Amino acid sequence: MKILVTGNNGYIGSVLVKKLLDKGYDVVGYDIDYFKECNLEPINELYPTVVKDIRDIAYDDLKGINSIIHLAGLSNDPLGEFDSAITKQINYSGTMKLGQLAKEAGVDRFVYASSQSMYGVSDLDEELDEENSKKNPVTAYAETKWQAELSLKKLNSNDFTVTCFRPSTVFGVSPRLRCDVVFNNLVACAYTTGTIEILSDGSPWRPVVHVNDVCKAFISGIEAPSDIVSGESFNVGIPNGNFTVKELAEAAKTCVPGSKLIFKNQHTDPRTYKVSFTKILNKLNNYYKPSWDLIRGGKDRVSYFDKVSFTKDDFRGAKCNRLLQLKRLINNNIITVNSLEKIEK
């Protein structure tokens, strides 16, 4: 089977490709490589990759492709709000162009990396599930993810299986590590400064999941029978996968011996939500088997920091913070709003 992975050189993609290659899949990458300067160590480049903007995807790029795992896009809410027009073009219009061309080209499966941000601010009395919980996207990023899910599912058919996965906030080791996500940030802060400062009281809830387990979920979308995943959305997480910020900070402190934890109680964080993982853990139980917890993942990251001689500059700089890197690229006109090409063969 030949699998196209868009965003193959990103935080998740660089981990996912290795897993696919290890399983014997024929992989083709597709990535504009905005973050080529963000390596902590070299990434695997011994497979074909198209270096191209997702907005410029063409029919010929999909010849011979059996399945697509679509990761490419501007990630998370602050990035989306930095330039909402670019976010909408890349995350929605680029995604739909890819989906439509994939169906025309005879691709069998389309696995979409969506987001839990579409739930918005939630009622903590209930865990958010895929079908029944209200969708309240409040950012350009969240809106594009939700709208792309709705539109992609309209393409779902007997010969074109569309599956959408909504990962929790991801943590864990990658050669293109991000430190602008909560648990990665806390561990990196403890490692490079010796102190974790939490501006709130630590009470907000966050669902988190290890990058290796997210990759397992995406692969399950390729390997599970079509009748299980066709037209479905799945929250991606682990059993008991919701944590308070305080719990995450305490786990980070445990993983970095000698570090200090300080709660400033300077403001109340309104971003608090819990997510249900019952559907993926039950419906895909034969295909998705998560195995990473906070402590294992945090200690693994500390070992990785030792290996790559991770510094405070790495932590604070553009190498591990996507907004800083994208601001630089946009300010230098490397990323621009462009008119999408017509969908044509």
Q: Does 29 reside within a domain?
A: yes
Q: For position 337, what pLDDT does the model report?
A: 61
CA–CA distances in Å: residue 65 to residues 11, 69, 73? 23, 11, 20
133 φ, ψ to 5°?
-80, 140
Q: Does 298 reside within a domain?
A: no
What is the rounded distance in angstroms from the CA atom of residue 99 to the CA atom of residue 151? 9
Q: For position 183, what pLDDT does the model report?
A: 98
Here the tokens at position 162 are 């569309």
Q: Does 301 reside within a domain?
A: no
Q: Does 161 reside within a domain?
A: yes
What is the rounded distance in angstroms from the CA atom of residue 58 to the CA atom of residue 343? 7
Please list the ranges in the chain whose pLDDT falls under 70.
Answer: 76-83, 123-124, 266-270, 337-345
Provide the number of structural domains found in the chain.
1
Q: Does 237 reside within a domain?
A: yes
CA–CA distances in Å: residue 228 to residues 57, 160, 167, 277? 29, 14, 18, 16
CA–CA distances in Å: residue 240 to residues 67, 204, 275, 290? 31, 16, 10, 12
Q: Does 263 reside within a domain?
A: no
Q: For position 341, what pLDDT does the model report?
A: 42
Q: For position 327, what pLDDT does the model report?
A: 81
What is the rounded distance in angstroms from the CA atom of residue 280 to the CA atom of residue 302? 29
Q: Does 164 reside within a domain?
A: yes
What is the rounded distance in angstroms from the CA atom of residue 135 to the CA atom of residue 150? 12
What is the rounded distance in angstroms from the CA atom of residue 140 to the CA atom of residue 41? 32
| CATH code assigned at 127 | 3.40.50.720
- Domain containing 216 equals 2-174+208-241+273-292+322-331
Q: Does 74 reside within a domain?
A: yes
pTM of the model: 0.94
